Structure 1
Amino acid sequence: MAGSVADSDAVVKLDGGHLNNSLSSPVQADVYFPRLIVPFCGHIKGGMRPGKKVLVMGIVDLNPESFAISLTCGDSEDPPADVAIELKAVFTDRQLLRNSCINGERGEEQSAIPYFPFIPDQPFRVEILCEHPRFRVFVDGHQLFDFYHRINTLSAIDTIKINGDLQITKLG
């Protein structure tokens, strides 16, 4: 009998809000700090233009293979949307690959970077700044490389796609 009394007390406390106010459960944290689900696809309001910046903050998974962040012209799968820039972090090779894909044709891949900035199980901040001739990419506040535009109409770049071995904590 004592077990059922304790159970009913717990229900009363929950209904009265007493326990919810004192617990910091993962459920409550998700309500206040929602995680963005990977794979992620979102709209960039107004598209890209010189001076506009895209911010991706996240945490690399514990045992990552790779993750990718792409800025695309829409989210069409068939035919596939043009990709203005795809950043792909590959942990086995410690490379940050960059490329585009226009009318189904991949461009020349770039891979040169001064260092590999991502660490398993650690947070990161990627900023993609759109300038007139190029994207400037910063990781954790340090400029890592420039990627010159291969798409002429910057405003057509209106979608961000993120997938792979990471959690997204903030987009801006």
Structure 2
Amino acid sequence: MAVQAAEKDGINVEDDHLNDSLRNPGLISPDKEISRLLTVPFSGRIRGGMRPGKKIIVMGIVELEPESFDVSLTCGRDSEKDDTLHDVALKLTARFNDRQFMRSARIAGKWTAEEASTDYFPFIPDQPFRIEIHCEHQRFRIFVDGHQLFDFYHKVKSFTSIDTVQIQGDLQITKLG
């Protein structure tokens, strides 16, 4: 059964990125609650863009020997030809070699300085995790496995223009909402 596109918790998932936990591409259970492994790198639309009160949840498993992974909220899909076309409202980067969880943004083609994380590094190779990105009026509030780690004050002021979530690196995505 081929599926053109699926929508899960406000994020549109293209059919070429959709797999269920049994590796059957494009299958959707009637209740749409099946956990899916999404292909990395992943790009999906956020229906209606971000707004205060909205949150993005990324659940996954870190690979066995990871170097890094990124979760980004962007203003439009990145083009393969020119990666500098779209603003990045928030880029979260987990770096395993120095055990840092960094955040930054790209505005008008220029990256802001990376902000260092707290001393706590929440990710463990070959273990599951849950990242929650809460959008508030002044900032994004970032939680990992239920613990608030840090805030990131908005650089992109038009919330509705933040309409894409992109994920890449050394992880498997098990759920996105």
**TM-score, normalised by the number of residues in structure 1:** 0.81
CA offset digits 1:50-80 (Å, max 9, x no partner): 0000000000000000000000000132352
Matched with 1:167 is 172
Structure showing greater Rg: 1
Q: Gapped runs of 5+ residues in structure 1?
A: 1-26
Q: Gapped runs of 5+ residues in structure 2?
A: 1-19, 25-33
Verify: 1:116 aligned to 2:118, yes or no.
no
Q: CA deviation at 1:35?
A: 1.0
Quick one: which of 67, 87, 95 aligns to 2:100? 95
Matched with 1:81 is 86
Q: Provide the C-alpha distance between the structure 2 equivalents of 1:126 and 1:160, rounded to a whole number of angstroms.
A: 13
Matched with 1:63 is 65
Letter in 1 for 2:121: F
Q: Provide the C-alpha distance between the structure 2 equivalents of 1:61 and 1:90, rounded to a whole number of angstroms.
A: 13
Q: Secondary structure at the match of 1:56?
A: strand
Q: Secondary structure at the match of 2:120?
A: coil
Q: Provide the C-alpha distance between the structure 2 equivalents of 1:76 and 1:87, rounded to a whole number of angstroms.
A: 16
Q: Within 5 Å, give how 1:2-151 maps onto structure 2.
A: 29-31=22-24, 33-77=35-79, 78=82, 79-151=84-156
Q: CA deviation at 1:28?
A: 7.6
Q: CA deviation at 1:106?
A: 0.6
On the 8 A contact 2:69/2:93 being kept in 1, the answer is yes
Q: Please, what is the CA RMSD of the aligned residues?
A: 1.4
Q: Provide the C-alpha distance between the structure 2 equivalents of 1:80 and 1:120, rounded to a whole number of angstroms.
A: 33
33-42 or 61-70, larger mean C-alpha shift: 33-42
Matched with 2:8 is none
- Paired residues, what number? 146
Q: Provide the C-alpha distance between the structure 1 equivalents of 2:60 and 2:137, rounded to a whole number of angstroms.
A: 27
Q: Report the identity percentage.
A: 60
On the 8 A contact 2:21/2:36 being kept in 1, the answer is no
* Residues 109 and 28 of structure 1: CA distance in aligned 2, closer, same or farther (over 3 Å): closer
**Runs of 4+ residues deviating >6 angstroms:** none
Q: CA deviation at 1:94?
A: 0.1
Q: CA deviation at 1:108?
A: 2.0
Higher helix share: 1
Q: Secondary structure at the match of 1:29?
A: coil
